[in-house]
Structure 1
Amino acid sequence: MFVLFFIILMRLFKLQVRDFEENLKLSNYYSQRQIPILAPRGEILDKDGEVLATNVESYILEYSYRNNSKSFFKVISEVLDILERYDEELYDNFELKVNPFRFEFGGLNESDKKSRELRFKTDRGYYEKLKKKYFPSVKELTDTQKRELENYILDISVEEVFYDLIKEYDLYKLLDESTLDSNSTGKEIYDSLTSEYTDEYIRKYMFIKDSIKMNSFSEFNPVILATDLKKETAFEIMQKQNMLQGINVSQKSIRYYPEGEFASNIIGYIGPIDDNQKERYQQEGYNIAYDVIGRAGVESVFESNLRGNHGGNVIKVDNNGVKKQEIFEKESRPGDNLYLTIDKDLQKVAERALSDVMLGLQKTGNNHGSGLDTSNATRGAAVVMDVNNGNILSLVSLPNYDPNVFVSEDNMTEETREKYFATNLKEFGENYIKERNLDIDVDTLFPLSDKDNMNSLRDDPNDIYPKVFFNYATQGLIPPGSTFKPLTAIAALEEGVIKPDELIKDNVIFEAYNNQWRNLIDYSLGSIDVKDALRTSNNHFFYEVGNRMYNSKNSNLEGLDVLANWAWKFGLGRPPNSTKYISTTGIELIETTGQVFNSQSMKSNIVALSSYNIVDILNRGEFGKYKFKPIDISKKNSDGEKLSKLKKEIKDLVKKILSEDLPLDIEQEILNEKVNYLSTNLKELFIQLVGYYAKEFGMNYEQSDIDNMTNAITDYILYSLRTEIYTPGNVINASIGQGISLFTPVQLVSYIATLVNGGIRYKLNLVDKIVDVDNNLVKEYNPEILEKVYLKQENVDAVIEGMRRVNRTGSTANVFTNGNYFPIETGGKTGTATFKEDGMQEKVGRAAYGVFVGFAPVENPEIAVCVVLYDGGHGYFGAYVARAIFEAYFKERLQKDYPKYVPMFPYTYTLMD
């Protein structure tokens, strides 16, 4: 008896004394909760401190699920009732939707959607589940087995996933538990649930449970149930918080863009972290449950500066989750503030003017005369930069969007979701065709990305539909047309093939290399110098000087690249394979880098298209004087290994020969060797190919067919395509901005700035400085010179004078001089470049690009401007936007020096007040 008593006493001692510290730690651990204090994002401001992006305080409804699983359904039911009474929405980023069952992954292509669906299902256990089912004994799957498994996962329907999650998340507990039990199937539970609840109501419990599961990697991070609650909603929940275990209302800074759509192409927007980004951002210290990230614009580029550092509270709670004591607090620190180089007032005027001109062109439609139809002038860009430091003062891309829509799921209506992410191109295309009476069907205009799947997304190969997330100012590649002529002029002057006052006779038709190039007008302007050539945009003059530059060089290749070497100095592209610059402008936003005509790029373009062209020739069975029985070398899924290999070898042989440098002045002996090499190897491959077709398909070919196929492709490659690459006619076309040259508006404005400031090419800056919350300087962006182009001042002056004449007596005189004279001297140049030749432009309802570049003042240039109007028809219309910009920029000077001046655009003054 004593022994038994002693044993009990010792165990009691151990429990009460020796294990006290351990139990205390355990008790404290289970009664503590960490509440994050989220750091507000830094503000985005214009150059004068005008706020473009800030934060507003908002009430957030959270659910901390620790130790509250038993009360889940009761608590959530009460919360849903309160939210419904106050007409509040749940924070819903759950991609599985009902009525009908479907996944919604936003405006992605089919491949991206499949990847997101695969990730969604994998995160919810289907990878492991199906791996056990189909590959139970395989430890390490091969690549083929992985692809097979992924296909099994994708084959699971949305309905099946919905039923599985009903079971997974014990949603049978919504009913009388005596009715069903955990052994019931998901479908059985669903059938019972629908007798009392709607699919949408069931889904609410499902995605809350799903959020808990997806957030289960962190014990303390709460699940967000609703954002931006009304005060009265928040207060009622706070009053009932003792009865709502795990529910908490906190205050959080919500991103707010006070100007709505204004400058959205610069600012960008924020959004939650996507599934496919979770791993990356977790490694960078983000909490994927509640952190947001910049998704576009400077919000994205400067994410690391803007995000701030979160703080947090450690509190002690009772068994019901009610706060009893605050143990520790770490304050959050707001993100850094971003000051842009943008002038808010100037940006407003540029946006308004560009929008007004576009709307005017849309309304005029096909009433311009001469067959021009500008009804689809729905996209455009305008850029203004300081020519003396590279600062961007305005950067406009239309159409734009309201970034406030993406701050919260509550802001995303079905209408906005469809507008931004799920555009019905079939419906749009049908209306587009009908309104313009086009002789084309919607499947040609907007072809399906997968022709065998009528539900696949449609492509827009003709760039017809306006894309709100596409930055037309930094990403839109356009042919420059005659806005390239100032570059040709300065290059010709610096190369010494013309002098500033030298006269060249306008012969209307320029003849060279067995070809003709014509002026736009059918009469001669007589003998003109470079200044009047710019004023009148005389093609013949620039054909002549382009050809002179070509002939001034010692070889075909040198001559072909003479213009490109000058264009590259001004940031209009860069030498192929050059690693000197990733971007030719250095602007902080995502941009596309355009390229000027050069022999290597031309060759690359031809090589890329060569396979399609030889497939076409062989399918037609003729080329020039050669005729033969057609043969198909197009790639087909049904091709066997041998046939597929033969087809590829023919195409690879052609690409190999074309990729070599074979200029027109190559020695005849070397050319003969190439002809012999290509024809010999082609003939051998064609012999094997026709043998295969004869054996497998009973298709018989004569020796003459093989000989003519060989000769046709050899001639096509080494004479037709080679001439197309290396003809001096390419330089003649490039001299007036035609051919393969394509540039973005930011490249064009940078080139004009470099020209008029005397040859200094600055890096383009959108950000002036970054300061912390206490206004301490974090980083300042000073002017950075990318390149110095050494130019003779007399040559620069000649080009500037020519551009001044354009606005005074040339194509834009009606904008700057006639009727409403603009008193500050400006320079400009219009450009009109077709979208597609041979009538295709009109067939698809498009018009030429309207491009205008300009600068002011002439005497001492301060700003450069580029305006682009997609389907604008003529660069002349862009000059109106530039006029509005000049009026706004020089407002104070105009009011002081020209007090009687009346603006052409009244809002250029009023929008700035």
Structure 2
Amino acid sequence: MDFKNRKKKRFDRYNALLIVMLAVFSVIIARLTTLQVIMGEEYAERANDEFIKNLSEKAPRGDIIDSKGNILATSVQSYKLVYVDTAEARKEIYNTIDKVNSLLQKAGESASDSFELKLLPFRFEFSSETPEGLRRLELRWKKDRGIDSLIFNESLKESTGKGKISELNESETDLLDDMVMAYGAEDTFHYLIKKYKIYEALEDGSEKNKEYAKMSGNELYALMSTRLSDTAIRDYIEIKDSITMESYQGSRAVTIVNNMKEDSAFTFMQQLSDLPGIQVDTEPIRLYPYGEMAAHVLGYLSPINSAQKDRYEERGYDVSTDYIGASGIEAAYEDRLKGSKGGSTVEVDKNGRTVKELFRLDVNPGNTVQLSIDMELQNVAEKGLKEISTQLTTTNRIHTTGGYISDSSNATRGAVVAIEVKTGRVLTLANFPSYDPNIFAVPGRLTPELYRKYFNPDYEAFGNDLIQRLNLKDKEGKAISVDYLFPLNSDGTRRDPYDLYARPFFNYATQGITPPGSTFKPITAVAALEEGAITPSTVIFDGGSFTSSSLRGYRVRNDGGSAYGSLTLNKAMAKSSNVYFADLGYRLYQNGGLNSISEWAWKLGLGHDPSEPAHSTTGIEISENIQSNVYNHDSKRLITQRLINFGVVEFLNAGKARNGSSFKPLSIGIDKADLDPMAQAKQAIKDAVKDALDISLDDANIRKGPKLEDLSKILTPLFQGFIDTLPAGSDVEKASYYANQIAEYIVYDKVNEMWSPVNVISASLGQGDTQISLLQMANSIATIANGGTRYRTSLVDRVLDEEGNVILENQPEVLEETGISEATLEAVRNSMRAVNELGGTAYSTFRNFPIATAGKTGTASVRSNDSTFIGRSAYGVYVTYAPADDPEIAIAIVIYDSTRGSYVAPIALAMYEEYFKDVLESEYPGYTRKYNYKIDDPYEAVTGDYDGNPIEDETTVSP
């Protein structure tokens, strides 16, 4: 064998393989070199030019329509200007912001300013009606931006020895929160300049920026304010802040202008090449075509605040951009109205703009909610309420009745409710004052002026004006001070303890609870007839006042001092005789005890038995006040027990015995400086007093309560125990003396006050502890009118899908069959009919109306001993139903401080003229309507700046 040739062949094969491998690797290395070195920049650019992005598309909210299909809330497409944060756009962000602001100014547009940090002066603006809500929102806002971490690291980390905020205990956390709240708006502005590196807008170069990074926020502001305006700095902060907040949600898109006019949108489209990161999009926005109409029914939208963030994030909301229902039907039916989002997967260029759509998921609009509200009747109620209120505060302010002069100058708020008596459907729910929910549908519409009006009213200016208009004097005849009407809080803001200022967002129909006054007399009549205290023909003599030897001088008089002589139920109701109904109250007390009225009122949905948890008695879908009350013993007992500590402390501090003699004061009030033995001794006295007042209804009805001697024996060692904790030589009375004084105060004053028949008599007149909502009152009258069946009140008839198919329909729901006899109901209905007929208190309003009606006027006193001095007058209340013979509709009306119920009754007449318009036209062609309130023309869109007034000739994007 040729060994040399074989070896040569082998080497040739290996050499060939090696050469091939070297060649392949050479090509790969050359290609990598080309890609990474020679063409690296080009491919980096292409990588920025072409990348994939998922875009979300909002679903239009479903419509809200009235019972006849009229649109009360809808969604329309609008243009918005968006900044998309990309690496390329970031290089020019400040120049882009400046160019955008210039174009907006030329177009007459304004940026959507939802940034809560404001200028001139530096301040925060958060939307909440309560101080607690404002504090909560401000705290969350500051914490989201790291201010709590800043303060912790600078001020608390070392002193507490804790390494993290999460390690702080409760008191330390409270301290940190207080320090965060104390961190002012101007300091926050300076802090954000540094946090977001706004100094880069100066374009002084990287070396200078390194110097600036070492400066404090205050120093940076001092430097920048010489070259940039505060407004420009704030604009930069707002965009950078929005980008940061959005990034937490995985988004880099920030909306600069919402609801932009079409011409403005086209202007920006033409300029996009010079505006890196800017794009024009469309999205649905909420529109309320009739502005303020039914605002408290519809509600309004709001962004998702920090406190709601987790809850809505779990439900698939984009918490940085989505709006949710904040009140009314918008909130109650949020899940039905919101729809399902769509979206697309797209290729975008280096500026974040879409170049190709790869995939699309269509949106599903929300469902349509059809209300029971009749828009035309709602319009009449709202305009009637506004007109009567305006008259009472301007041309018809001073009223003289029975020798008494009253002033309705502050009759600035009220409500109307109308119910279909045989179903519980709410036909009207009106409030005055109101608000336009369009203001909250788009960021930026809530101007500083509107913000102050709604959320930070000038109580001082209002108070001074009220004092001047009403010539308010204190008990000594001196001019009352604004500090008395609107006391100052510790933070310098003022509060409104006497409910003097009209609140546009407050639903007076469902959330306001007031004494019903004489409109409660039909309920008293029901109780008296059912309990056998009277019959319809029982005669009670009205000599002008009611009293009894057992009532220790207590006296009830008729309005104006009138005396009506011998009265049966019909005439007593027609004249609204306080004497007659006080007599009924006393008879009910004697026959059935302290709860003889409340037990019947509860059946009619007025308040509830306090042994049950607080709950709605109407079933309405929107927010309501469930703390209403009709006097009953248990509620009175609980209130007395809750307040007794204040009474005992005040009594002992005053040093005045019940017989008028003086004694050495003793302080058992809470004092943080007290050591445990002293604090415990004080509490033991208070607990014993509270226990003494724990008297059951059965015992109260037979006047079985604590005995003076027994209570004094219980209290004596407790007072001695407290005195023993005092410093030696303290100048005090004997323990037995204090014990006896407090025992007398409890037994003779507080216990007698709890079980006094005066409570029942006051309740019979709709006064005292009785406080109920207008919606409850309307439903109770509807129950009397329909034969004793109490229905759940409802604002929603049905829910429809996109094609108009019914997917949910509400049926009348019976909450209670009251069991009131037909004889009783007929007697009460006849007496209410007499109110609107000749000789009745509402006859002047209804004398020419051809359809028989029934009703009851009410003048309810304000629950304040200072009402005369604080500018409060009586509530004017009126309840009614019609037709009297076969009732269809029940109405309840209240205007605060209007002084008399008869003054508000014309609103009901206007509503009857609208409700029965077809009957009037066909059966009573000669009748001329007294009131003709036309519905304002709707507007199809609200774009650009918005001042709350209808805007004409605006353009919307076709859906």
Moved more, 498-507 or 532-541: 498-507
Counterpart selection for 1:576 from 594, 600, 610? 610
What do residues 584-626 of structure 1 show as CA deviations (whole Å, max 9, x unaligned)? 1111111113111100011112122212211221111123136
Task: Tell me which residue corresponds to 1:556.
Answer: none
Map of 1:146 onto structure 2: 173
Instruction: Indicate whether 1:365 and 2:397 are aligned.
Output: yes
The reply to whether residue 549 of structure 1 matches residue 588 of structure 2 is yes
What pairs with 1:22-61 in structure 2 (closer than 5 Å)?
A: 31-61=51-81
Please report the TM-score for the alignment, with normalisation by the length of structure 2: 0.88
Is 1:530 matched with 2:552? no
Counterpart of 2:524?
A: 488
1:187–1:8 distance in 2 versus 1, CA, 3 Å: farther
Give the C-alpha shift of residue 279 in structure 1.
Answer: 2.1
State whether residues 379 and 933 of structure 2, in contact with CA within 8 Å, keep that contact through their aligned partners in structure 1.
no
Distance 1:525 1:117, change over 3 A: closer
Q: How far does residue 667 in structure 1 lie from its aligned partner after superposition? A: 8.6
User: 1:33, 1:220 within 8 Å by CA — same for their partners in 2?
Assistant: no
Deviation at 1:132, TM superposition (A): 4.0
Residues 169-201 of structure 1: per-residue CA shift (max 9 Å, x gap): 121221132373134223333233222210011
Q: Does 1:841 align with 2:861?
A: no
SS in 2 for 1:59: strand
Query: What code does the residue aligned with 1:167 have?
Result: K
TM superposition score normalised by structure 1 = 0.92
Task: Give the aligned partner of residue 326 of structure 1.
Answer: 357
1:449 aligns with 2:489: yes
Which one of the candidate residues 897, 916, 931 is aligned to 1:890? 916
Instruction: Using the TM superposition, name which of 405-414 and 888-897 deviates more.
Output: 405-414
Distance in structure 2 (CA, Å) of the matches to 1:216 and 1:357: 52
1:310 Cα deviation from its structure 2 partner: 1.3
8 A Cα contact 2:63 2:73, kept in partner: yes
Shifted more, 902-911 versus 531-540: the winner is: 902-911
User: Corresponding residue for 2:376?
Assistant: 345
The 2-side partners of 1:170 and 1:721 are apart by 66
Give 5+ residue unaligned stretches, structure 2: 1-17, 36-42, 474-479, 939-959
Deviation at 1:808, TM superposition (A): 0.5
1:724 aligns with 2:758: no
Which has the higher mean CA deviation after the structures are superposed, 377-386 or 725-734? Answer: 725-734
Partner Cα separation in structure 1 for residue 110 and residue 562 of structure 2: 70
The answer to whether 1:98 aligns with 2:138 is no
In structure 2, distance between residues paired with 1:671 and 1:702: 24
d(CA) in 2 for partners of 1:534, 1:773: 52
Is 1:887–1:903's contact at 8 Å kept on the other side of the alignment?
yes
Post-superposition shift, 1:8?
A: 6.1
The corresponding residue for 2:953 is none
1:651 to 662, 671, 686: 686
Taking a change above 3 Å as real, the CA distance of residues 390 and 665 of structure 1, as seen in their structure-2 partners, is closer
Is the aligned partner of 1:700 residue 2:731? yes
Structure 1 residues 620 and 248 mapped into 2: Cα distance closer, same or farther (>3 Å)? Answer: same
Partner residue of 1:65?
Answer: 85
Matched, 1:591 2:628: no
Q: Indicate yes or no: 2:557 matched with 1:519.
A: yes
**Do residues 770 (structure 1) and 770 (structure 2) align?**
no
Whether the aligned pair in 2 keeps the contact of 1:850 and 1:876 (CA below 8 Å) is yes
Q: Deviations over 1:412-455 (max 9, x none)?
A: 222212111110111111111122111211111111233xx4x2
Partners of 2:675 and 2:268 in 1: CA distance:
68
Letter of the 1:794 partner, please give it.
A
Sort the Cα spacing of 1:382 and 1:320 in 2 relative to 1 into closer, same or farther, 3 A: closer
After TM superposition, give the deviation of residue 728 of structure 1 in Å: 2.3
Paired letter, 1:403? P
> Deviations 1:714-741 (Å, cap 9, x if unpaired)?
1111332111111223222212212101
Alignment partner, residue 38 of structure 2: none
Tell me if the contact between 2:85 and 2:252 (Cα under 8 Å) persists in the aligned partners.
no
Contact 1:106-1:422 within 8 A present in 2 as well: no
What amino acid sits opposite 2:309 in the alignment?
Answer: K
- State which of 924, 930, 948 in structure 2 corresponds to 1:904: 930
Question: Which residue of 1 is the match for residue 210 of structure 2?
Answer: 182
Question: Cα gap change, 1:29/1:616 in structure 2, threshold over 3 Å: closer, same or farther?
Answer: farther
Q: Are the equivalent residues in 2 in contact too, given 1:650–1:685 (CA < 8 A)?
A: yes
In 2: Cα distance, 1:128 partner to 1:193 partner:
25
Q: Residues 129 and 563 (structure 1 numbering): CA distance in 2 closer, same or farther, change over 3 Å?
A: same
One-letter amino acid of the counterpart of residue 757, structure 1: N
Residue in structure 2 matched with residue 750 of structure 1 by the alignment: 779
Change (3 A) 1:694 1:371: farther
Which amino acid in structure 2 is aligned with residue 710 of structure 1? A
* 1:809 counterpart SS class: coil
Taking structure 1 as reference, are residues 89 and 523 closer, same or farther at Cα in structure 2, changes over 3 Å only?
closer
Q: Which amino acid aligns with 1:775?
A: G
Segment drifting more, 778-787 vs 504-513: 504-513
Describe the shift of the 1:368–1:911 C-alpha distance in structure 2 as closer, same or farther (beyond 3 A). Answer: farther
2:200, 2:703 → 1: CA distance?
87
Confirm whether residue 86 of structure 1 aligns to residue 116 of structure 2. no
Map 1:640-719 onto structure 2 (within 5 A): 640-661=675-696, 671-672=706-707, 675=708, 678-695=711-728, 699-703=730-734, 706-719=735-748
> Secondary structure of 1:505's match?
strand
Answer whether contact 1:36 1:221 (CA < 8 A) is retained: no
- Distance in structure 2 (CA, Å) of the matches to 1:141 and 1:862: 62
Deviates more, 1:369-378 or 1:159-168: 159-168
Offset, 1:84: 2.5
Q: In the alignment, is residue 161 of structure 1 matched against residue 188 of structure 2?
A: yes
Counterpart selection for 1:616 from 650, 662, 673: 650
- Contact 1:482/1:537, CA 8 A, preserved across alignment: yes
1:391 aligns with 2:422: no
User: Is this contact kept in 2: 1:663–1:722, CA < 8 A?
Assistant: no
Contact (CA 8 Å) 2:86, 2:351: kept in 1 or not? Answer: no
Deviates more, 1:533-542 or 1:336-345: 533-542
Range with bigger deviation, 119-128 or 7-16: 7-16
Task: Indicate how the Cα distance of structure 1 residues 326 and 354 shifts in structure 2: closer, same or farther if over 3 A, else same.
Answer: same
Residue 499 of structure 2 aligns to a residue in which SS? coil
The one-letter code sitting in structure 2 at the alignment partner of 1:336 is: N
The yes-or-no answer on 1:432 pairing with 2:466 is yes
Shift of residue 241, structure 1, vs aligned partner: 2.2
1:464: which partner in 2?
500
Q: What secondary structure sits across from 1:871 in the alignment?
A: coil
> Could you list the per-position Cα deviations for residues 840-875 of structure 1 after superposition, in whole angstroms to 9, with x for gaps in the alignment?
211111111111111111110011111111111111
Tell me which moved more, 436-445 or 494-503. 494-503
CA distance in 1, matches of 2:562, 2:456: 52
Query: Is residue 457 of structure 2 the alignment partner of residue 423 of structure 1?
Result: yes
Instruction: Tell me if structure 2 keeps the 8 A contact 1:65–1:212.
Output: yes
The Cα shift of 1:640 comes to: 4.7
What residue number does 1:170 align with? 197
Q: Percent identity?
A: 37
> RMSD over aligned Cα, in angstroms?
2.8
Aligned equivalents of 2:33 and 2:915: distance in 1?
81
Q: Distance in 1 between matches of 2:589 and 2:234?
A: 70
2 CA distance for matches of 1:477 and 1:851?
12
Give the equivalent residue in structure 2 for 1:135: 157
Q: Structure 1 residues 708, 306: closer, same or farther in 2, change over 3 A? A: same
1:509 equivalent in alignment to 2:546: yes
1:785 and 2:807 equivalent? Answer: no
Aligned residue pairs, count: 887
Change (3 A) 1:368 1:261: farther
**Preserved contact between residue 315 and residue 326 of structure 1 (Cα < 8 Å):** yes
**What are the equivalent positions in structure 2 for 1:871-886 lying under 5 Å apart?**
871-886=897-912
Query: Can you list the C-alpha shifts for 1:693-717, whole angstroms capped at 9, x where unaligned?
Result: 444xx631232xx333211111111
Deviation digits for residues 400-422 of structure 1, max 9, x if unmatched? 11111222233222221211111
Over alpha carbons, which structure has the higher Rg? 2
Distance 1:182 1:649, change over 3 A: farther
Distance 1:565-1:30 versus aligned 2 partners, 3 A rule: farther
